[in-house]
Chain A
């Protein structure tokens, strides 16, 4: 008996062991690009440069910066270009006596060891006939003061199919390497004489010179990008080097600090060692408060500092900064409270705000943690795993989806108390229904700084003047039109099914009771309706434009996102008669949904620095941000929204060739054979947009799981293999399980 109990216990334990393996189906985790704590940081020192023109082709040699500038005079409609030089640490450039004609373009500048400038210049002819447009390339060499040493015409070297220069480099011996980046590398001696060329089979991602003076290219290997020597002597590509950082993205090759090269890619600067074929991140631009999007040039200075030149072009102002980055022990840098910002992919707007926040805030510092470096799903799984395991970022970027899931799981903090306690912001100042879209039980879980509206537009004569309609209304409208009338431009069976289900899902899923009704007549009707569309859209360039079709009545409706008054005006012009944003067919509501205008933020309920997180999140709600030109869609701040409306109604003028003040177009959209232009909006148009904003009552979140089931099963119906009933039954069975699981 004792033996029996022993056995029983053993088997019990075996059964118990099944439990921890119960959830072994999780997806693989990816490496995040999150920054580990480093022993050192590169501390930036900024110097604003007085240069206002567009800067490009920046090179640094012997403590001198050389660059080309380009300007366009609106008044005279004449462009001008020059090559300038500036001492490192200086603030004003000096124009070199290098003549650049109106028809000349400076494509590349590089320097040799003697400090001479090698410039690739293109000159195009002035023929008005586009077929006769021709550009010829020349290679020019100047000394450091701008005195010309020689000019070589490159036309003879290039053929018609590779007549452009993308990369130019000079090696340690003064030899010149030119490439079109596609299939050719030309080799020239120090005097500009061609000594050979190399045919390359793959596109070049970059070409650069190492600390040792050898030229290397970054090109696609068998699986990803590799570095490869360019052998001048044998006129061929030489040794290949693997483990290039960010092997799928853009990269720039620069001279290394002590040896080898640096690779600048995305948010990071890597050191690459050719001996070990290993790379190491030495600098994260965001950590050094630099927006990688603004970097024009990077170089290593002789004293080991890293130099970066940035150019920030905004509608309000443009500025050029020289930044000197000095390697400093972390312990020597003022420590701030770290607030982590978790995102799958970092938006450039958020990155810019992080950098500005880090530069100005004395108490907190935002540390971005980007999860989806090369795999979205793995990145999302890793972020979810971090959130659940207690390593949640303080601020969570919700624009990638999962907002409802996070709200349901208690991941997100209620933001209303922060509004209430904030001395600068009042929740009453923001568009209520947009806030309400992310409100549950009186608690606000996400901040949407700007938004647009997803809707369907039709002629009032067709869709009536009320907002909101049902699927039956839509089908009745379609049936009332002559056969062959298109319902939506470029619509296919799949797209129509997805769109109609996406915004009308409440008709088929009742999350309160957990009941699905995909086996209902309404859904079968929807399937039948979707089946009347084409299986796939074949683009025909001779087809009339969307505008023409709408105007002649052969196209009924337009699906669109309205993010400003001009878009509404364009549609009004397009239809040529009164329009109504009738919305997507739904059982209840208006069918017009709030779309995310790029940024959606929440604060982790488990954050230990919620106040600091709010400090950052509220930046997107401030008047400065809301009124900035970077907010492309509707701002959420009522005063900023009103200012946008006012701006839309304010006419702009220009003086025409006869000296008369003429109203300028606000925007214009080209539709093949038709060009639509809109001017200042009328009060009625603005009121229509306001009414549309007021009517939007929900923010839609795409449910990938449900849609993949619906589209997968509907395919059999669209292919004629199953009837609508059979397909609807299977969808009902599968989606019902999903709903039950998540109820």
Chain B
């Protein structure tokens, strides 16, 4: 009996092995096909992202691009101790810390407002989206007209008997840039939130209303829970946009702006021009590590907060 069962086991094993073998043959073909389809994009990613990153990493570890002597972590230490890098990092941090929450909260507020039955809803939506259509050069021109030392804002201040403010070259400079950033980004964020709000199940909201839940409770316990992944997405998007505000600042104030407007991208751009590739590379790696940490924290937060909604 035992032998019989042992034979049966062997037969079964052989059969399974054969099936497995047949399966791996087909799988191999399938994998090859997949690889072929993936090859163009993989090679693109390798050439344009992975390889440059390797080069950046290499430059960060050598003393300079000419002699190329291994410098251990000296470049990172130097960059961390560099006054310009510290200023740029602090300014970027301050700007992101103010602009990103504002961009998320205000766009969420606008989305909730426009979700209600208010007059001219459609017109308002279009109004908030228009900055997206305006080219950067035009935005810069508009802000120059408004906030230049001899611009419209100072004319208004003069009319009110207040002395002129050098908006781009004083401590007010970051406020102007935050306004510019919000004006440019609120519309897009708002649309994302409106789409997310519309996908909240209506029956749950109706049940909550029937259960006499207050609007605040509905917002906190239902809407925010359902919007959590969108909030995360909008936050990350705004964070990336906040790093990209350099473009507008550069066009407004050039390579070396007033110190409150000096961002990390200025540091990188200028060090590139002055052939300081090792400084640039070390700064880029530090920046990417910080970005990964921030995004990781956001993810963990979202995972804890909105996990049940995903499930």
Contacts and interface: CB of A to CB of B under 8 A. Distances in A.
Contacts of A20: 48-49, 52-53, 55-56, 284
Contacts of A411: 66
Interface string A2-26: 0010011001100111111011011
Interface string A718-743: 00011000100010011111101111
Given A15-B292, A410-B67, A709 B280 contact: no
A743 B291 contact: no
Contacts of B43: none
B2 to A, nearest CB: 42
Contact of A23 (B49, B149, B272, B292): B272
Interface residues of B, number: 54
Contacts of B266: 737
B295 interface: yes
Interface stretch (B81-89, B100-108, B126-134, B209-217): B81-89
A8 B296 contact: yes
Interface string B38-81: 00000000001100110110000001111100000000000000
B288 A26 contact: no
Given A19-B285, A740-B87, A734 B256 contact: yes
B24 interface: no
B236 to A, nearest CB: 7
Interface stretch (B9-17, B197-205, B257-265): B257-265
B105 to A, nearest CB: 22
Nearest to B52: A20
B267 interface: yes
A405 interface: yes
Nearest to A4: B303
A286 interface: no
Interface in A349-403: 384, 387-389, 392
Contacts of A18: 240, 243, 287-288, 291
Contacts of B265: 22, 25
Nearest to A726: B166
Interface residues of A, number: 46
B275 A741 contact: no
A388 B275 contact: yes
A705 interface: yes
Contacts of B144: none
Contacts of B256: 705, 709, 734-735, 737-738
A514 interface: yes
B138 to A, nearest CB: 20
B284 A19 contact: yes
Given A7-B299, A20-B56, A733-B258, A409 B150 contact: no
Contact of B84 (A713, A716, A740): A740
A436 interface: no
A117 B53 CA distance: 70
Contacts of A388: 65-66, 275, 277
Contacts of B67: 410, 605
B263 to A, nearest CB: 11
Interface in B265-311: 265-277, 280, 283-285, 287-288, 291-292, 295-296, 299, 303
A618 interface: no
Most buried by B among A11, A23, A388: A23
7 nearest interchain CB pairs?
A20-B52, A23-B272, A740-B84, A740-B83, A25-B269, A15-B291, A22-B284
18 contacts: A4-B299, A4-B303, A8-B295, A11-B236, A11-B296, A18-B288, A19-B52, A25-B272, A409-B66, A409-B276, A410-B63, A410-B64, A721-B149, A730-B258, A734-B258, A735-B256, A737-B262, A738-B256
Given A22-B284, A713-B169, A740-B87, 16 more contacts: A7-B299, A12-B296, A15-B291, A16-B49, A16-B292, A18-B291, A19-B53, A19-B287, A20-B284, A410-B64, A410-B66, A730-B169, A734-B257, A737-B84, A737-B256, A738-B270
